[in-house]
Amino acid sequence: MSQLANLKVLIADDHFLIRQFVRNTLQDSKINNVQTAADGNEAIDLIQKAFDVTQPYDVVFLDWNMPTISGLEVLSYFRAKPEYANTAFVMLTAESEQQNIMKAIKAGATSYIIKPVSPSDLSKKLVEIHEWIKRKRQNAQAHG
């Protein structure tokens, strides 16, 4: 579990309670480097700023339905930029229709979590996401 502690995470969701819930669950996994955004615009802003100061996020949780810019649009925007290839973008949303899940996966979502989610399921997903990040980085080193 301690390996997870080094992750830098952004939670983008327009619902305060969801942001709190995810943050608390992350803290239970010893992840304390957590920022939050209340909409898609703020998320894009924070992700770019973090990258500019070479402290990019490892994991970005995106709600699908947010004011200004949707989570899917944020996902597509960053997946079009190769420098964000090692960032895990995770849809955390009440959108449970198969076609939406497929749309997000096609757009490059690392994982798709349907709300409401239990803390234990979220923690399990985190371990999977962390494995994905490790694989990505090992591949990047092998080919870099």
Condensed to tens digits (0 to 9), the pLDDT of residues 84-123 reads 999 999 999 999 999 999 999 999 999 999 999 999 999 9
Instruction: Spell out the domain ranges in the chain.
Output: 2-137
Residues of the chain short of pLDDT 70, as ranges, are: 1-2
| Cis amide leading into 116 (omega within 30) | yes
CATH T-level topology, domain 2-137: Rossmann fold (3.40.50)
Residue 53: what pLDDT? 97
User: Where do the H-state alpha helices sit in 8-59?
Assistant: 16-28, 40-52
> How far lies 100's CA from each of 62, 75, 81, 137, in Å?
14, 13, 22, 28
Q: What DSSP string describes 102-116?
A: HHHHHTT-SEEEESS
